Structure 1
Amino acid sequence: MPDTRTSSARITAVDALRGFSLLGILIVNIAFLASGYRMAGLAEPAFDAPLDWATRWLVTMFMENKFYLLFSFLFGYSFTLQVDSAVRQGRPFVPMFLRRLAGLLLLGVAHAVLLFPGDILTTYAVVGLALLALRRISPRTAVMLAILMTALLALGFLLLAALAALGLDTAGTVSHGATEAIKSDAALGGPVWQIVAEHLRKLSLIVVLRVFFQGPAVLAACLIGFAVGKLGVLRDLQAHTKALRRLQWLGFTVGLAGAYVYTQSAWNGTMHKFLGEAVDLVTAPLLAAAYAATFLRLLPHMQRIGRALTAPGRMALSNYLAQSLLCSLIFTGYGLALVDRVSPPVEVLIAVGIFVLQVFYSHWWLRNHRYGPVEWLLRYLTYWRRPSQTYRSRHSTPTA
């Protein structure tokens, strides 16, 4: 019989890490939800003060492309928990998981069309099929596949950088991007039909990026989470202190160096952006791993923060979608239509404020409910029966 105290601590740590990741994702995403220029890869021309640029630099260097990798890692980790749970309960895993992925796909499509074209749920739905096909591979093979995919993606960006160096326009000009941003701002500040049409237009423009670049990057992070789950590393963190310490040293040296190169390429124009992307693909996972290792090592010493983050982590799917809804009400014609009218520092403050509200709301909701509202719906689709919502479980398995 497993030690329930160890199991509870492990689940609490994973949920707290998921809540921490959710905050990072919101701080990154809010810039893209608030501005057509950021979606076009440009700085908002109305905000050019030193504090504006400092905020862009800090968010790009320390947060961009790190926290969605953490979330993806946790998706892969939770996959192993779901497999183990199905085995213990004697339930057929494949049809349940396929229904779960179908639910994620439907939620993701609705999210992308109505709220945010940068949706990640549709990517998880597709990547989940790959995890399902690879579920019997060894942890070592999973890690090797993740490394191989990351290397191939980096080589792809190096090829794009080489083509750009030869004078081929692989990303569009700055003036073209500014024109796109102005067009996007006008649509996002308009009525509902214009907002939806703009989201559909953006989706058509980024589909290649999703299929050939983001999808494999997400799968690589999921495979690392899959390997960690298979090995049971998070069941006893103290037994892996040396490994966590090595991740911190490697991640905070190589990872931060790569993040600096990426930030330089994104904002200074001192090197082609594709070269920065190639460097970031290799180093961002290391920095994300360092964040996770540091958080997990500090968690026993900051129990109050851990408890605060556990509740939003337990209902991360509901909170992720709610973040986009609240930002849409602030920045688009759904509500206040403040698109490109809010400076980067204020955006960060709004993001933190939204997350604090979600912390309180999540704790309030989970006092009387076993699952978050969207988690309940996804569980219904997964098991094809109505889940109990009133039973309060102290040892519930975290959802992806």
Structure 2
Amino acid sequence: MKVSSTARNERILSLDFIRGIALLGILFANMAFFKSPVFQLQSLPGELASLPADHLNQWAVFGIDWFVIGKFYPMFSFLFGLGFYLFYERMREKGLDAGKMYSRRLYFLLALGAVHLLFIWSGDILHTYAITGFLLLLFIHRKPKTILIWGIMLILVSAFLLGVLVTTSNLFVAYQEGTAFEQDAQNAVSTALSTYSSGSYIDILSFRISNEIPIVLSNLLLSIPNILGLFLIGLYIGKQGFIRNAEEHLSFWKKLLLFTLMSGGLLSGLYACLKNGIFSIAPWLSNGLAEGLNIIAGPLFMLFYVSSAVLLFQKPAFKKLFQPITMVGQMALTNYLLQSIVCIFIFYGFGLQLYGTIYAATGILITLVIYAVQTLLSWFWLGNYDQGPMEKLWRRFTYK
């Protein structure tokens, strides 16, 4: 039997729109990592909780923390779990070995993520998704209620563990002012700034391999349970038919929208206040509470974004108006990788050398320009081809 990827007229357009929105949010969130030494600053005493001096960048940082940080990697994770269910059911309906076909997809994603992580950017998420994705096979035949319980519990446990870990780490850092540890941390920040801003590609590659990639890989133990929990929320939504038959479940989406707006919105606002030291409590405690809290607040607010998109997509006029964003989402893998490639050439030493010189408000502007160009490129590409280039390679590897 010849198998092909989902035809364009079979696609669930609301999902492509949500992917398009997720790509914008991911770029907003990742911009700080592209333009500044975030990995190294985390170990520097006195950098635990602070806002910029000028009002424009203060509002930019606060707004990003409230509405973006921790909301869009959960959105991609949610979509991954949902997409897994839709793919698995499609293969099963055709009488194929759905587990084997799905595993092929993950092998491709793992290889692509490894290349992205090693040769392009330390913030890759694809390798984590691929590794965690194999665990989804353990849940495909479970009841929806069981899947939902597992998902919620994994997220709550991850929030607790991250909160304790960050609080403990920050408490240690807070007591290192004036010590050799602080000097080493300052040297690490200075080295990162000089390497990324003026180093060659080989210099930067060597620095990332020795200083950042080990941190990324060691974080897998903490990130996999959290991401699996988010995958399971998407799997639950898929099994319940809430997306595929959204018009039959409008009451569910309306209730979810109101609940997540109130809970996710308020908790995310609290996270932003804690993260930026607005409350008069110790920075090490404030930041630890913030990071743990956002593991819960982020997915809740993410579901507000998702439910808003699903409800808006019941209106034909909305589908037409936001078709360009839908096209960006149809090429999500290609556009995700393209964002990394464009940003490293903007900020790194072998490109425009803007690393360490851009503040939050300017970063927002750069994000919007990059995304606007990606929208135009996606519109042009899908006007001539059925799929994005990386999506086509992924399809060929999956279906042989």
TM-score, length of structure 1 as denominator length: 0.87
Query: What SS does structure 2 have at the residue aligned with 1:91?
Result: coil
The one-letter code of the counterpart of 2:348 is T
Confirm whether residue 276 of structure 1 aligns to residue 290 of structure 2.
Answer: yes
Deviates more, 1:260-269 or 1:324-333: 260-269
Q: CA deviation at 1:139?
A: 1.4
Confirm whether residue 23 of structure 1 aligns to residue 39 of structure 2.
Answer: no
> Equivalent residue for 2:3?
none
Confirm whether residue 202 of structure 1 aligns to residue 212 of structure 2.
Answer: yes
> Equivalent residue for 2:194?
186
> Equivalent residue for 2:349?
333
The one-letter code of the counterpart of 1:275 is L
For residue 226 of structure 2, the aligned residue among 217, 220, 238 is 217
For residue 111 of structure 2, the aligned residue among 106, 111, 114 is 106
Give distance in 2, aligned partners of 1:349 and 1:113: 28
> Equivalent residue for 1:97?
102
After superposition, the Cα gap between the structure-2 partners of 1:9 and 1:252, relative to the gap in structure 1 and judged at 3 Å, is farther
Q: How does 1:109-148 map to 2 (within 5 A)?
A: 109-148=114-153
Confirm whether residue 238 of structure 1 aligns to residue 239 of structure 2.
Answer: no
Confirm whether residue 296 of structure 1 aligns to residue 310 of structure 2.
Answer: yes
After superposition, the Cα gap between the structure-2 partners of 1:99 and 1:182, relative to the gap in structure 1 and judged at 3 Å, is same
Query: What SS does structure 1 have at the residue aligned with 2:12?
Result: helix
Q: CA deviation at 1:260?
A: 2.2
Q: How does 1:377-396 map to 2 (within 5 A)?
A: 377-384=393-400
Confirm whether residue 307 of structure 1 aligns to residue 323 of structure 2.
Answer: yes
Give distance in 1, aligned partners of 2:396 and 2:342: 25
- Determine if contact 1:37/1:178 at 8 Å carries over to the other structure: no
Q: CA deviation at 1:199?
A: 2.1
Query: What SS does structure 2 have at the residue aligned with 1:234?
Result: coil
Report the count of equivalent residues. Answer: 376
Q: CA deviation at 1:44?
A: 12
Q: CA RMSD in A?
A: 2.6
Query: What SS does structure 1 have at the residue aligned with 2:351?
Result: coil
Q: CA deviation at 1:132?
A: 1.8
- Determine if contact 1:35/1:44 at 8 Å carries over to the other structure: no
Q: CA deviation at 1:93?
A: 2.0
- Determine if contact 2:51/2:276 at 8 Å carries over to the other structure: no
> Equivalent residue for 1:365?
381
Q: CA deviation at 1:239?
A: 2.5
Q: CA deviation at 1:237?
A: 2.2
For residue 78 of structure 1, the aligned residue among 68, 74, 83 is 83
- Determine if contact 1:154/1:282 at 8 Å carries over to the other structure: yes
Q: CA deviation at 1:295?
A: 1.9
- Determine if contact 1:157/1:275 at 8 Å carries over to the other structure: no
Give distance in 1, aligned partners of 2:266 and 2:124: 28
Confirm whether residue 253 of structure 1 aligns to residue 262 of structure 2.
Answer: yes
Give distance in 2, aligned partners of 1:161 and 1:34: 23
**How far does the alpha carbon of each residue in 1:106-129 deviate from its partner, in whole angstroms, 9 at most, with x for none?**
111111122221111001101110
Q: CA deviation at 1:169?
A: 4.7
Q: CA deviation at 1:351?
A: 0.8
Q: CA deviation at 1:296?
A: 1.8
Q: CA deviation at 1:311?
A: 0.8
After superposition, the Cα gap between the structure-2 partners of 1:172 and 1:374, relative to the gap in structure 1 and judged at 3 Å, is farther
Give the share of equivalent positions with the same residue, in percent: 28
> Equivalent residue for 1:52?
57
Q: CA deviation at 1:204?
A: 0.8
Query: What SS does structure 2 have at the residue aligned with 1:90?
Result: coil
- Determine if contact 2:196/2:204 at 8 Å carries over to the other structure: yes
Give distance in 2, aligned partners of 1:139 and 1:333: 50
After superposition, the Cα gap between the structure-2 partners of 1:14 and 1:33, relative to the gap in structure 1 and judged at 3 Å, is same
Give distance in 2, aligned partners of 1:36 and 1:108: 21
Deviates more, 1:81-90 or 1:295-304: 295-304
- Determine if contact 2:166/2:291 at 8 Å carries over to the other structure: no
Q: CA deviation at 1:266?
A: 2.1
Give distance in 2, aligned partners of 1:229 and 1:366: 27
Query: What SS does structure 1 have at the residue aligned with 2:140?
Result: coil
Give distance in 2, aligned partners of 1:350 and 1:44: 24
Query: What SS does structure 1 have at the residue aligned with 2:162?
Result: helix
Query: What SS does structure 2 have at the residue aligned with 1:233?
Result: coil
- Determine if contact 1:31/1:38 at 8 Å carries over to the other structure: no
Point out where structure 2 has 5 or more consecutive residues left out of the alignment. 1-7
> Equivalent residue for 1:3?
none
